[in-house]
């Protein structure tokens, strides 16, 4: 049986005697700025933050060269994480701090090197670090590993993405010192190395340890990497004191989210139709995407420079852009003014250097013909300052780079062009999507959300979860939200041509749904690609699947807001199996893993719409109209106090009011209004949809054999609707 991309759809409830969970979602990540210049290039960010985000954690980065937190501050973190690949040059201050301060840490997790040398007086600090986990250093190391034998507790935990190499990496010998330590991988030493065992991977009630070379494999030459340990199981065991619900931004109303965003690169491109007529690629997009799929939202980002003839743009597509943005399902957004391809080039900008770059790239012809042509025709000069095939750091270079123009002017220009009833809420980073802290801060000062970058891949060429980015890129005090899906023209990873890139996207989408849902569904491309008929067919294929799949389509700005708000959610324990959830903003889903034996008690909870299961995972849908939410889970299956609850919906549901066997709510979304509710009393129900007190539709529906009530509202949900569900009769057909 062939499944399409869109067709993939240990319980310890104790209360820890530690700081409340409101302050324990954050992990303190320590890194060496000499080896990794900023947080965004650390291995913790590139590889470990994704599984940490999936488990519900946020990460706070601290360069060990620039001061370390007081010991009294450490209990507010879920744990302290290090992943040194080399010995820090300035490690003395760090090790002196670690010897005493880490006694106050809830958990300590060490990946790779400990950060010190065991043959010097730094050994005391190493003992303190490992001792927090329940381990100790044996003051010896093995470099030639021939004859060393691996003994794994469970190979799925230590050969997560493939078998280990035949030649084992060298290692330092580490022993267990407490019985609560769970060794996942031990190395049995031959007699020539003194015999005995060394712990290579272990977890305990106080943290976790994975030795260098036994936690992760990285090949900088090919750009490939893979996990040796199962990072999800490792971090869950090493950092979680007890079960708590993880905020989840992959799911909404019980369904995997879908969104699509497009950049206007190629807006002035012309293609030939089958009738050999020249049309703008934007007109093809309007006809073949916008008009053809009115039930699926798409976010279209304008780079206003494309319409500015004074810098090399063209006003011709202006009315086409207006038509695209006028469609009810299209969200307007903005993507710079001159389209920077390499944002870092402008961190230390020099106009003289930029002009030299143009001069070197397009030197004058013989006898100064180029200069003469510039003098005779200003358009020729303008064209010289328009990039072809991304040869320059930005698309339009005729005028000096101005960050205010790229962000403030661009957003104002886009808003002026957008329909009056639509707001430009989102800024889409162009090119390599590596904006500066100042650039991100400027978007936020204008009230704009931001997205792009990350280049997510999990396909045949990059078959590892390590090639998926986390939710956001830390940039100083700012946060850049990564796109969920990689686009077809990235600048970092080695994509093949756009056709193959979009084919590879299919594998990524499947791999990020099973065995665990790691990402929503995101179709991200540039307008120019629509001019390629094969690429267009691939895009339409994804959209055709989305039409009938059990997903929930949303606008891109809504996803960016969800990802932003993930970092603000507070989860506070209120006794065993009870939590208050605050400051969640747009985050309307909580998730429990390994949850076969629990479910939500809807009668005791507050602000919970319902729940749905995907295998062993329980997704809990929250009501956006209720703040804070009180969540209570129960081990009784079936539930003791049954109440109607949302199973899943293609539209976003809020303002749910239950009234005996009846209920009412509001909903908004794209495409057919499909709803499924569990826990309804058996019988027939009248479903009515209203907007502004006007009845637009009603129908009678019946529960099925398991008490599920399913119905579809055949109306446009772009504007919010009010729905009521009223019980009409008993299952036997008698009066209510």
pLDDT in tens, 346-397: 999 999 999 999 888 765 544 444 344 444 454 556 878 998 878 899 999 9
- Percentages helix, strand, coil for the chain, rounded to the nearest 5? 25, 30, 45
Q: Which of 165-174, 385-394, 583-592, 645-654 has the lowest mean pLDDT?
A: 385-394
- Give the pLDDT of residue 388: 83
- Indicate whether 71 pLDDT > 70: yes
Question: Which pLDDT belongs to residue 502?
Answer: 86
Which residue, 519, 528, 498, is CA-closest to 317? 528
- Residue 375 confidence (pLDDT): 45
Q: What is the mean pLDDT of residues 651-675?
A: 97
Number of neighbours of residue 427 by Cβ within 10 angstroms? 30
Give domain limits for the chain.
25-240, 252-340+403-562, 350-400, 568-640, 644-736
pLDDT top residue among 377 and 26: 26
d(CA 499, CA 538): 8
Which pLDDT belongs to residue 477? 95
pLDDT of residue 5: 53
Confidence at 4, pLDDT banded by 50, 70, 90: low
Check residue 686 and report its DSSP letter.
E
pLDDT of residue 533: 92
Q: If you average pLDDT over every residue of the chain, what do you get?
A: 91
Does pLDDT of 562 surpass 80? yes
| CATH code linked to domain 25-240 | 3.40.50
The pLDDT, as a whole number, for residue 190 is: 93
Measured in whole angstroms, the distance separating CA 603 from the mean position of its chain's CA atoms is: 32
For residue 665 the two structure tokens come to: 């709510």
Confidence of residue 490 (pLDDT cuts 50, 70, 90): low
Higher pLDDT, 487 or 415: 415
**Portion of the chain with pLDDT greater than 90, in percent:** 83
Tokens of 568: 């603000």
Residue among 567, 670, 665 nearest 624 (CA): 665
What's the pTM? 0.93
Token pair, residue 437, equals 């802290």
**Least confident piece of the model among 217-226, 470-479, 523-532:** 217-226
Range in 462-466, 594-598, 639-643 with the lowest mean pLDDT: 639-643
Residues 527 and 281 sit within 8 Å (Cβ to Cβ): yes
User: Token match 């488990």: residue?
Assistant: 55
Query: Token pair of 285, please?
Result: 């997009």
Q: How far is CA 391 from CA 262, 342, 396, in A?
A: 22, 10, 11
- Judged against a pLDDT cut of 80, whether residue 604 lies above it is answered with yes
Cβ 590 vs Cβ 246: under 8 Å: yes
Q: Mean pLDDT throughout 443-450?
A: 98
Give CA separation, 420 vs 55, 410, 416, 480, 629, in Å. 41, 17, 8, 28, 35
pLDDT at 223 (0 to 100): 87
Radius of gyration of the chain (CA): 28
- How much is the pLDDT for 391? 86
| Topology (CATH level 3) of domain 252-340+403-562 | TIM Barrel (3.20.20)
pLDDT at 142: 95
Q: What does the pLDDT average to over 512-521?
A: 96
CB 282 within 8 A of CB 324: yes
- Region 105-111: what's the mean pLDDT? 97
Q: CA–CA separation, 483 vs 481, rounded Å?
A: 7
* pLDDT recorded at residue 373: 41
Burial of 423 per CB tally in 10 Å (0-12, 13-18, 19+): middle
Whether the pLDDT of residue 15 is over 90: the answer is: no
What local confidence, expressed as pLDDT, does residue 18 receive?
A: 39
Q: What pLDDT is recorded for position 38?
A: 96
Q: Does domain 644-736 have CATH number 2.60.40?
A: yes
Q: Stretch 191-200: mean pLDDT, rounded?
A: 94
Q: How confident is the model at residue 530 (pLDDT cuts 50, 70, 90)?
A: very high
- Between residues 330 and 194, the one the model is more confident about: 330
Strand, coil or helix: 306: helix
pLDDT at 379: 56
The mean per-residue pLDDT over the stretch 551-560 comes to 98
pLDDT of res. 729: 66
pLDDT grade, residue 491 (50/70/90)? Answer: low
* 229-243 tens-digit pLDDT: 999 999 999 999 888
Q: Is the pLDDT at 537 greater than 70, yes or no?
A: yes
Query: Is the CB of residue 675 less than 8 Å from the CB of residue 649?
Result: yes
pLDDT recorded at residue 496: 62
């Amino acid at each position: 049986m062939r499944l399409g991309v869109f067709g993939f759809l240990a319980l310890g409830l104790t209360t820890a005697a530690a700081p409340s969970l409101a302050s324990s979602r954050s992990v303190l990540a320590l890194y060496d700025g000499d080896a990794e210049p900023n947080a965004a290039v650390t291995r913790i960010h590139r590889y470990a933050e994704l599984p940490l985000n999936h488990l519900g954690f946020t990460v706070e980065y601290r360069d060990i060269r620039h001061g370390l937190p007081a010991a009294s501050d450490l209990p507010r973190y879920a744990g302290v994480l290090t992943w040194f690949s080399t010995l820090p040059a300035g490690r003395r201050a760090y090790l002196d701090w670690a010897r005493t301060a880490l006694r106050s840490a809830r958990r300590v997790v060490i990946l790779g090197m400990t950060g010190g040398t065991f043959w010097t007086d730094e050994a005391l600090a190493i003992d303190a670090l490992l001792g927090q986990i329940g381990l100790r250093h044996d003051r010896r190391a093995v470099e030639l590993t021939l004859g060393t034998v691996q003994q794994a507790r469970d190979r799925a935990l230590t050969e997560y993405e493939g078998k280990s190499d035949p030649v084992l990496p060298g290692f330092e010998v580490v022993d267990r010192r407490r019985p609560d330590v769970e060794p996942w991988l031990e190395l049995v030493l031959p007699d020539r190395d003194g015999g005995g065992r060394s712990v290579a991977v272990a977890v305990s009630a106080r943290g976790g340890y994975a030795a260098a070379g036994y936690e992760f494999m990285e090949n900088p030459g090919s750009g490939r990497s893979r996990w040796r340990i199962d990072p999800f199981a490792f971090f869950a065991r090493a950092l979680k004191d007890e079960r708590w619900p993880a905020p989840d931004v992959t799911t909404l109303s019980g369904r995997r989210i879908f969104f699509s965003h497009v950049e206007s690169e190629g807006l002035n491109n012309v293609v030939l139709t089958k009738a050999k007529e020249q049309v703008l690629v934007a007109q093809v997009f309007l006809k073949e995407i916008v008009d053809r799929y009115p039930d699926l939202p798409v976010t279209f980002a304008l780079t206003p420079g494309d319409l500015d003839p004074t810098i090399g743009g063209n006003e011709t597509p202006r009315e086409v852009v207006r038509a695209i943005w006028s469609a009810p399902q299209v969200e307007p957004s903005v993507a710079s003014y001159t389209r920077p391809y390499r944002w870092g080039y402008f961190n230390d900008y020099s106009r003289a250097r930029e002009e030299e770059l143009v001069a070197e790239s397009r030197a004058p012809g013989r006898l100064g013909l180029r200069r003469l042509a510039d003098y005779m025709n200003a358009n020729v000069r303008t064209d010289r300052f328009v990039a072809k095939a991304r040869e320059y750091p930005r698309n339009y270079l005729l005028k000096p780079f101005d960050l205010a123009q790229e962000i403030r002017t661009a957003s104002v220009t886009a808003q002026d062009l957008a329909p009056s009833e639509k707001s430009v809420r989102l800024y889409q980073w162009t090119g390599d999507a590596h904006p500066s802290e100042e650039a991100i801060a400027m978007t936020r000062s204008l009230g704009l959300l931001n997205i792009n970058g990350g280049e997510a891949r999990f396909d045949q060429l990059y078959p590892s979860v390590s090639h998926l980015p986390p939710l956001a890129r830390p940039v100083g005090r700012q946060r850049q939200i990564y796109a969920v899906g990689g686009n077809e023209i990235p600048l970092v990873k080695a994509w093949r041509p756009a056709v193959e890139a979009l084919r590879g996207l299919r594998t990524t989408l499947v791999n990020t749904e099973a065995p665990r849902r790691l990402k929503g569904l995101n179709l991200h491309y540039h307008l120019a690609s629509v001019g390629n008929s094969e690429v267009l067919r691939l895009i339409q294929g994804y959209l055709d699947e989305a039409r009938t799949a059990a997903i929930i389509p949303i606008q891109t700005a809504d996803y960016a807001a969800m990802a932003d708000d993930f970092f603000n959610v507070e989860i506070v324990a209120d006794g065993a199996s009870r939590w208050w959830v605050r400051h969640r903003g747009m985050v309307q889903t909580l998730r429990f893993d390994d949850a076969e034996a629990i479910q939500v008690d809807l009668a005791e909870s507050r602000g919970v719409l319902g729940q749905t299961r995907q295998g062993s995972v329980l997704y809990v849908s929250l009501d956006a109209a209720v703040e804070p939410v009180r969540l209570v889970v129960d081990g009784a299956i079936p539930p003791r106090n049954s109440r109607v609850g949302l199973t899943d919906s293609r539209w976003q549901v809020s303002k749910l009011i239950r009234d005996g066997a009846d209920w009412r709510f509001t909903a908004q979304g794209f495409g057919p209004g499909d709803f499924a509710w569990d826990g309804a009393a058996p019988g027939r129900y009248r479903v009515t949809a209203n907007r502004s007190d006007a009845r637009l539709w009603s129908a009678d529906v019946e529960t099925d054999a398991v008490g599920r009530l399913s119905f579809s509202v055949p109306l446009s949900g772009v504007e919010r609707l009010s729905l009521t569900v009223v019980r009409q009769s008993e299952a036997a057909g008698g009066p209510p």
